[in-house]
Chain A
Amino acid sequence: MNGKNQKYTEAPVKVLLAKPAIDGHDRGIFVLAKAFRDAGMDVIYAGLLPTPEEVVDTAINEDVDVIALSLLNGAHMTAFRNVMEILRKKGVNDIAVVGGGIIPDEDKPALEKMGITGNFGPGTPLNVIIDHVRARAGEIRKLRANEY
């Protein structure tokens, strides 16, 4: 009977992992998928080469708390921005977006300004990423409690 009388704010975090460009480096995304699962989260992985539109569609359909974007191909500024713009166009402001990959320090302020947090580089311990995603999901759940 575990999990029967949960509160929405305490239920498992739901996170979408996505690489929103043509980038086949998926070693990290699978490590993260398993690490998030092993931390008790529900993880959506929709495969390689999604368009930014597909990423946003998925996030809405699946009602995820967090979109975790990752790119290792240097296109993060363009591709991450595209995702944020589509979210804004669709009026979605209750999904957190976190980033990671090979992101130079000088790009981080611009990403933060777009609303993308974390922006973790290579070698970041898994628990740091997990804690960050949990914290962002927690904010989102609180925000959502008053939506309907």
Chain B
Amino acid sequence: MDNFWDMKAKEIMQSFSEDKNYEKWKKDVLDPWNKKTGYTDKPRENSSSMLIKDLYMAGDLPVDAESRIGNPGEYPFTRGIYPNMYRGRNWTMRMFSGFGTPDDTNKRLKYLIENGETGLSIAFDMPTLYGYDCDSKRAEGEVGKCGVNVSSLHDMERIFDGIDLAKVSTSMTINAPAAILTAMYFVLAEKNGTPLDKISGTVQADILKEYIAQKEWMYPPEAHLRLIRDMLTYSTEHVPKWNYISVSGYHIREAGSSAVQELAFTLADGFYYIEMGINAGLNVDDFAPRTSFFFNSSINFFEEIAKFRAARRIWATVLKEKYHAKNPKSMALKFHTQTSGYTLTWQQPLNNIVRTTIEAMAAVLGGTQSLHTNSYDEAWALPTDDAVKVALRTQQIIAEETGITDVIDPLGGSYYLERLTCEMEIEAYKYFSEIEKMGGILNAVKAGYLQKEIADTSYKKQLRIEREDDIIVGVNKYVDKDEKPINTLKITDVAENGQIRSLEGIKKKRDESKVSRSLENLHKAMEDDSINLMPYIMECVRNYCTLEEISNVGREIFGEWKEPKIY
């Protein structure tokens, strides 16, 4: 029996027709030419293991191409979610930053604001991402290394010291302890006298992809999903400009998936969150417009563009047909893009500028709403200022020199691209169907199915590189004998020691009876699934309970998660 997904896949397949023109051209022109020149072709495939033909023609378009593709700003949004796209306004150039102590990061944010930046994007260090304080044994050597450390509300106060939260929008890349960091941000606004309906921002909070790919978790999936549900309902009611989730494929791709797997697994996560909102009693049009996505842009140019377009079309179709959204804003998939970290090579690092440029162009031609371009030295370390500047300039050159932004969706109608978009869609629908047959995404994740699919793809890719079926310039071809080291950013242990001392000070000053009472209250509330935990977490945060103390309440109740065995 066909499910919804099987039917959608079939529908697209049935829109393909036989291409007589191609056969004729191949027989009359190409084959004789190849015979004469002695040329032998080899099969070409993209990251998604799709065989790529040598030529695409009008006959490769779906028979209902016009309605299937549609127009910019209109359902199904294949050509972009806004009518004027970059004719109106360029994408947001949002560079992700964060390092060292809160004070280091505060300085950087103020510098960005002085230079006209209003979209802040904060990166946290590993201990914060896993819900450990800076003085935890587990945090040793990691404080401030991959981002800024936040162990209590005090650190949040320092990050945003002197910054008017009503005037900036803040994006926080945090997942497992997302509810705690969100609570800190809300409490900070309260303390500064900024009403919650005036603050805006995004918290990543996409826990499903953590189990699938990024592997930064604390509890079993159900516990985290409950916290996301609580954030969703709390912010839908109290913080109207807060985007409580950014459904992320970026990490799925970095973990080794193909483009199609990134597309399918990310959207499958997105559908789960939509169902969660509906199950929590919300109207889909009340919260779906606040769902946004975060994709990877990798090196196979057309495959990436097709992926972005397929994502928009699938989202629109499914929101309308399966979840019965009425508001076009619920159907319009908006997304942030980051160029691929995986494609950056340690060898001949300057080549990375070229790779990032091509990936950034794919994101722009795919209609992204915001973009982070990686720096050329990131296979070595966190980027230096100079390297970050080149990365930002790359975006500015694409936006202002190339003319790429002069036309809305300039590649729309390309035989190859439109066909590829359809084929990406079909493959994604097949995955949705497979996942449904496994009892839904949560079961599939707990069984390790998606993780295994990704690891298999990544191993296959590595073997292709080793066999030189896939070329990486400077790595398995055009190799330099002597690699000259480049200048890289060094992060010392000063941040770690400073944070530990600061946390000690906070623990001395706070009212311990309030600390233990608010943690006890949270403990009780957590045991009852029907209670929204946000107010309880905010109360803990107000009393300067630390990140780890709050996280530990959940660890006691829900236990810690261990990944399934996939091999």
A–B direct touch in complex (beta carbons closer than 8 A): yes
Q: Which residue of chain A has the shortest Cβ distance to B488 in the bound complex?
A: A104
Report the minimal beta-carbon distance from A66 to chain B, rounded to whole angstroms: 19
State whether A122 touches B346 (Cβ < 8 A): yes
Indicate the member of A24, A75, A77, A104 with the most B CB atoms within 10 Å. A24
Cβ of B346: which chain A residues have Cβ within 8 Å of it?
A: 121-123
Cβ of A104: which chain B residues have Cβ within 8 Å of it?
A: 380-381, 488
Q: Does B167 contact A (CB under 8 A)?
A: no
Cα A35 to Cα B465 in complex, Å, equals: 13
Cβ of A146: which chain B residues have Cβ within 8 Å of it?
A: none
State whether B127 touches A22 (Cβ < 8 A): yes
Among B75-132, those with CB < 8 Å from A are 126-127, 129-130, 132
Q: Which residue of chain A has the shortest Cβ distance to B140 in the bound complex?
A: A78
Cα A78 to Cα B145 in complex, Å, equals: 12
Query: Interface with B: A4-12, A44-52, A88-96, A133-141, which one?
Result: A44-52
Query: Interface with B: A25-33, A56-64, A110-118, which one?
Result: A25-33
State whether A34 touches B567 (Cβ < 8 A): yes
Q: Which of B146, B255, B458 contacts A74 (CB 8 A)?
A: B146
Report the minimal beta-carbon distance from A57 to chain B, rounded to whole angstroms: 16
Cβ of B562: which chain A residues have Cβ within 8 Å of it?
A: 47
Proximity string of chain B (513-529) to chain A, C-beta cutoff 8 Å, 1 when within and 0 when not: 00000000000000000
Among A68-106, those with CB < 8 Å from B are 73-75, 77-79, 82, 102, 104-105
Proximity string of chain B (54-77) to chain A, C-beta cutoff 8 Å, 1 when within and 0 when not: 000000000000000000000000
Report the minimal beta-carbon distance from A116 to chain B, rounded to whole angstroms: 15
State whether B455 touches A30 (Cβ < 8 A): yes
State whether A24 touches B475 (Cβ < 8 A): no
Report the minimal beta-carbon distance from A58 to chain B, rounded to whole angstroms: 14
Cβ of A49: which chain B residues have Cβ within 8 Å of it?
A: 130
Among A1-24, those with CB < 8 Å from B are 21-24
With A31-B459, A126-B462 as contacts: A78 and B141 at CB distance below 8 Å: yes
State whether B215 touches A21 (Cβ < 8 A): no
Indicate the member of A22, A24, A27 with the most B CB atoms within 10 Å. A22
Q: Which residue of chain A has the shortest Cβ distance to B491 in the bound complex?
A: A74
Among B441-459, those with CB < 8 Å from A are 455, 458-459
Q: Which of B141, B214, B476, B491 contacts A21 (CB 8 A)?
A: B141
With A78-B140, A122-B379 as contacts: A22 and B132 at CB distance below 8 Å: yes
Cα A48 to Cα B342 in complex, Å, equals: 20
Cβ of A126: which chain B residues have Cβ within 8 Å of it?
A: 462, 466
Cβ of A34: which chain B residues have Cβ within 8 Å of it?
A: 455, 459, 567
Q: Does B345 contact A (CB under 8 A)?
A: yes
Cβ of A23: which chain B residues have Cβ within 8 Å of it?
A: 126
State whether B475 touches A31 (Cβ < 8 A): no
Proximity string of chain B (477-518) to chain A, C-beta cutoff 8 Å, 1 when within and 0 when not: 000000001001001000000000000000000000000000
State whether B215 touches A48 (Cβ < 8 A): yes
With A74-B145, A74-B491, A75-B141 as contacts: A123 and B475 at CB distance below 8 Å: yes
Proximity string of chain B (184-203) to chain A, C-beta cutoff 8 Å, 1 when within and 0 when not: 00000000000000000000
State whether A123 touches B347 (Cβ < 8 A): yes
Indicate the member of A21, A30, A35, A51 with the most B CB atoms within 10 Å. A30
Q: Is the interface of B mostly helix, strand, loop or mixed?
A: loop
Q: Which residue of chain A has the shortest Cβ distance to B461 in the bound complex?
A: A31
Cα A126 to Cα B127 in complex, Å, equals: 31
Q: Which residue of chain B has the shortest Cβ distance to A81 in the bound complex?
A: B141
Q: Which residue of chain A has the shortest Cβ distance to B342 in the bound complex?
A: A27
Cα A121 to Cα B347 in complex, Å, equals: 10
Report the minimal beta-carbon distance from A77 to chain B, rounded to whole angstroms: 7
Q: Which of B139, B345, B458, B459 contacts A123 (CB 8 A)?
A: B345
Cβ of B466: which chain A residues have Cβ within 8 Å of it?
A: 125-127
Q: Does B221 contact A (CB under 8 A)?
A: no
Report the minimal beta-carbon distance from B125 to chain A, rounded to whole angstroms: 9
Q: Does B157 contact A (CB under 8 A)?
A: no
Report the minimal beta-carbon distance from B253 to chain A, rounded to whole angstroms: 10
Report the minimal beta-carbon distance from A16 to chain B, rounded to whole angstroms: 15
Cβ of A123: which chain B residues have Cβ within 8 Å of it?
A: 345-347, 472, 475
State whether B132 touches A47 (Cβ < 8 A): no
State whether B146 touches A73 (Cβ < 8 A): yes
Cα A25 to Cα B458 in complex, Å, equals: 13
Q: Does B418 contact A (CB under 8 A)?
A: no
Q: Which of A22, A26, A30 contacts B130 (CB 8 A)?
A: A22
Cβ of B238: which chain A residues have Cβ within 8 Å of it?
A: none
Among B254-273, those with CB < 8 Å from A are 254-256
Q: Does B216 contact A (CB under 8 A)?
A: yes
Cβ of A73: which chain B residues have Cβ within 8 Å of it?
A: 126, 142, 145-146
Report the minimal beta-carbon distance from B509 to chain A, rounded to whole angstroms: 28
Q: Which residue of chain B has the shortest Cβ distance to A30 in the bound complex?
A: B455
Q: Does B11 contact A (CB under 8 A)?
A: no
Q: Does B563 contact A (CB under 8 A)?
A: yes
Cα A22 to Cα B215 in complex, Å, equals: 10
Q: Does B44 contact A (CB under 8 A)?
A: no
Cα A27 to Cα B454 in complex, Å, equals: 9
Cβ of A45: which chain B residues have Cβ within 8 Å of it?
A: 567
Cβ of B322: which chain A residues have Cβ within 8 Å of it?
A: none
With A21-B142, A22-B142 as contacts: A31 and B462 at CB distance below 8 Å: yes
Indicate the member of A27, A49, A75, A122 with the most B CB atoms within 10 Å. A27
Cα A119 to Cα B396 in complex, Å, equals: 38
Q: Which residue of chain A has the shortest Cβ distance to B345 in the bound complex?
A: A123
Q: Does B138 contact A (CB under 8 A)?
A: yes
Report the minimal beta-carbon distance from A54 to chain B, rounded to whole angstroms: 12
Report the minimal beta-carbon distance from B326 to chain A, rounded to whole angstroms: 39
Cβ of A27: which chain B residues have Cβ within 8 Å of it?
A: 254-256, 342, 455, 458
Q: Which of A24, A33, A48, A75 contacts B142 (CB 8 A)?
A: A75
CB-defined A-B contacts under 8 Å, sample of 8:
A21-B126, A22-B132, A27-B455, A30-B455, A31-B256, A74-B141, A123-B472, A126-B466
Binding site for A on B (CB under 8 A): 126-127, 129-130, 132, 138-142, 145-146, 210, 214-216, 254-256, 342, 345-347, 379-381, 455, 458-459, 462, 466, 472, 475-476, 485, 488, 491, 562-563, 566-567
Q: Which 3 A-B pairs have the closest CB atoms?
A: A78-B141, A24-B215, A75-B141
Additional A-B contact list (18), CB under 8 Å, known A74-B141, A102-B381, A126-B462: A21-B126, A22-B138, A24-B214, A24-B215, A25-B215, A27-B256, A27-B455, A30-B256, A47-B563, A49-B130, A74-B146, A74-B381, A78-B142, A79-B140, A82-B140, A102-B380, A104-B381, A123-B345
